[in-house]
Chain A
Amino acid sequence: MQIDRYERRWMILTAVTLAVLFVAVLGSVLGAGIQVPGIDGQVDPRALARTPPFDRPGLRELGPGRYEATLVAFIWGYSPNEIRVPAGSTVTFTLTSRDVIHGFRIVDTPVNTMVIPGQVAKVTHTFTRPGTYLFVCHEYCGINHHNMYGRIIVE
């Protein structure tokens, strides 16, 4: 099989470009520590009222400037749907769903996870700038999906 000179160059250029882009992704994972959700445990969605930490959803201070926010997603809302933290706080969100698949996207941040019944999702973000951050359900979860949201108020 003969490959045209220019086409060979194009193929090499494509391979190199893809490799460079992928190395950049690896760098942002290993170097900057920007990670996607992983494996963080399972729960029985019918027994959340008896399963810590989801039996008491809300904000908990872990240490100076460090918080854990436990949220339960359900049709069609979050419990709690408003969280207040001081600017500069690092918040770990621990979420699960009581019924169907939901999503959790804090707009203007990289926080983005599916919220799947039976699975525990954990995502962490440091809120440096004060303001009101909207979070929305971004997976179709039924007739009132478009009214499922909440707010994080960074003071």
Chain B
Amino acid sequence: MVTMSLAQRRLVSWHLYVAVAALALGASMGPLQALEHMGIDLYRYVPFLASYYQGLSLHGVLNVLVWTTFFICGFLTFVTSATLRRPLYSLPLGWLAFGLMTGGVVLAGWAMLTNQATVLFTSYPPLKGHPAYYIGLTLVVVGTWLVSANIFLTWRQWRREHPTERTPLGAFGALVTFVMWDLASIGLAIEALFMLIPMSLGAVEGTDPLLARAFFWFTGHPIVYFWLLPAYVSWYSMVPKQAGGKLFSDPLARLALLLFIPLSIPVGIHHQFTDPGIGQGWKLVHAALTFAVFFPSAMTAFTLLASLENAGRARGARGWFDWFFRLPWRDPSVAAQLFAMLLFALGGISGLINASYNLNLMVHNTAWVPGHFHLTVGSGVTLTFMGISYWLIPYLTGRRLWSPKVALAQAWTWFIGMLIFGRGMHWLGLLGAPRRTMLGAASYAELRPDWALPSILVGVGGAILAVSLYLYLVQIVATLFFSREPAQVEVPEAEAVSGPEHAPFWFERWRLWVEVAVVLAALGYVPTVLDLVTRFNPVPGLRVW
């Protein structure tokens, strides 16, 4: 193992620090919302919040846009460099990207904290926030492009020196993630540059809300794979090693990752099944392709279970199920990621229901939907990132984890809290309660006494999650400031039962995968976008908070 230079570890660390800071503020809003649903209004004690919805905007943007993006950029930069065993192509480029992204977060954060961008993370026009908000978030996206450029250039240098080798799985996953993301983020870039920023600056009076939604969801669905694939990178290429076993099949891991490049994008309209003004035929096509993109995740489930069984048996398990209990459940990094996988499986199933075209009518924009994505991005991804940070932060800083016991308690409380919260939200949604709504204050809530019990589950789950969040934050701060003992950490790199040499070389013909992705994205989107552009129907922007 080549040791990573201090300068580069510092770059990665700073991405994680901003990520954790964003999570600290963003996720702190969560229990306020959950308890509000239960009838306990704590907002009067939070003087800097003007409303429930201002808190909800902070919660959404800081968690799913800032915490995820900064963690991903730091982690994948690290993985690329560590598994290719070479320094990053350019540290100045890395800092430039970090600076752009951080500057963007400061701009958008200022607008949100001063209640000038209470538009929630979807930022649907004609809701009209302060220009700093849209410009700030655009800078974050531009920053991710620079991060991806740095990763691609690092890989290209490696490839020149190793023309016939398979790219190590970790770096391979990082490349797949950023190839997918760079293509997918074009929709959001168009929406921001040509619609949202001009509207917020007053250069145009208004914009077309439906076309804006189409561009938003062009990026808005694949962005969930931008969050998820780095977790898959850890599950495939690191967790088997941490659990004491081997990855079951390296080539199939690669294939599952690769399938996300073409299949991630032409599925976004499944977020718009209930939008008037988009044809039912195209909605059905996107539904079918969403079923297809479920396939690589199902492959992942098999490979991971087989790898974990391999680990359990290597630890002396016998019989059918013993391996599950023999896994190193006392290792907080492993336990957190195993819990993340379990919760993600539940969220994946509720996602299949969301994708089922007319079945979506029963759940669209109800509390079911945030129930779903707290199990996926809020657990499958977030709890995995927390688990990764339990070895990565000690590796980067050279300081031992402050308290593995507290870390283990954190993983358990997140798991239990999310099970209760998720159950409550899904149930509440099936009973018809709307999402993104200050339900405890809603004048119609008294008409629905059946919403009370699931709302209690939401509140109780949210309170347990708050405990878990603060255990995590205390752990990170204490590790950075009070842990004096040096860390003995290695980067976990799993070997495979069926190794990378069995993967066909065309897996790494990136051009081919990009071309297929572009063709599929064009087939899925060009007719709908052209139709909407020819029917362009702008409406004036409004501030309604």
Contact = CB atoms under 8 A, between A and B. Distances in A.
B214 to A, nearest CB: 11
Interface in B224-269: 248-249, 251-252, 255
Contact of A38 (B280, B294, B539): B280
A100 B447 contact: no
Contact of A42 (B280, B439, B537): B537
Contacts of B438: 145-146
A25 B279 CA distance: 17
A37 B276 contact: yes
Contacts of A45: 539
Contact of A120 (B127, B276, B544): B276
Contacts of A112: 274, 360-362, 364-365
B275 A114 contact: yes
Given A25-B357, A143-B544, A36 B448 contact: no
A99 B504 contact: no
Contacts of B448: 107, 134
Interface string A114-138: 1111111110000000001010111
B333 interface: no
Interface string B338-359: 0000000000000010001111
B299 A101 contact: no
B375 to A, nearest CB: 20
A59 B535 CA distance: 29
A118 to B, nearest CB: 4
Given A36-B357, A36-B358, A112-B362, A99 B249 contact: no
A128 B516 CA distance: 49
Nearest to B535: A42
Query: Which range contains the number of B residues in contact with the other chain?
Result: 35 or more
B545 A142 contact: yes
B358 A34 contact: yes
Interface stretch (B72-80, B89-97, B172-180, B283-291): B283-291
B291 A18 contact: yes
Contacts of B441: 146
B510 interface: no
Given A7-B249, A140-B120, A119 B432 contact: no
B252 A39 contact: no
B295 interface: yes
A29 B358 contact: yes
B436 to A, nearest CB: 4
A147 B441 CA distance: 8
Chain B interface SS verdict (over half)? mixed
B504 A1 contact: yes
B442 interface: yes
A124 B462 CA distance: 37
A107 to B, nearest CB: 3
Interface string A1-17: 11110110011001100
A115 B126 CA distance: 13
Query: Which range contains the number of A residues in contact with the other chain?
Result: 35 or more
Nearest to B543: A142
A147 B443 contact: yes
A139 B436 contact: yes
Given A39-B276, A39-B279, A45-B539, A136 B361 contact: no
A99 B360 CA distance: 25
Contacts of A136: 432, 434, 437, 444
A149 B434 CA distance: 11
A138 B443 contact: no
B295 A14 contact: yes
A14 B277 contact: no
A138 B434 contact: yes
B447 A134 contact: yes
B400 to A, nearest CB: 39
B444 A143 contact: no
Nearest to A22: B291
Contacts of A15: 295
Contacts of A1: 251-252, 255, 502-504
B536 to A, nearest CB: 9
A101 B432 contact: no
Given A36-B280, A112-B364, A134 B444 contact: yes
A121 B279 CA distance: 12
Given A7-B249, A21-B356, A149 B443 contact: yes
B432 A116 contact: no
A126 to B, nearest CB: 15
A42 B277 contact: yes
B252 to A, nearest CB: 7
Contact of A145 (B306, B359, B437): B437
B202 interface: no
Contacts of A121: 276
Nearest to A32: B358
Given A42-B535, A100-B127, A114 B276 contact: yes
Nearest to B119: A140
Interface in A17-60: 18, 21-22, 25-26, 28-29, 34-40, 42, 44-46
24 contacts: A4-B248, A7-B299, A11-B299, A15-B295, A21-B291, A25-B357, A25-B359, A29-B358, A34-B361, A37-B274, A39-B277, A42-B277, A42-B537, A45-B539, A100-B124, A105-B366, A112-B362, A112-B365, A114-B274, A119-B210, A121-B276, A143-B545, A146-B442, A147-B444
Interface of B: 51, 53, 56, 118, 120, 124, 126-127, 208-210, 213, 248-249, 251-252, 255, 272-280, 283-284, 287-288, 291-292, 294-295, 298-299, 302-303, 306, 352, 356-362, 364-366, 431-432, 434-439, 441-444, 447-448, 498, 502-504, 535, 537-540, 542, 544-545
Report the 10 A-B pairs with minimum CB-CB distance, sorted nearest first: A142-B544, A107-B432, A138-B434, A121-B276, A138-B365, A118-B537, A146-B442, A119-B277, A14-B298, A146-B438
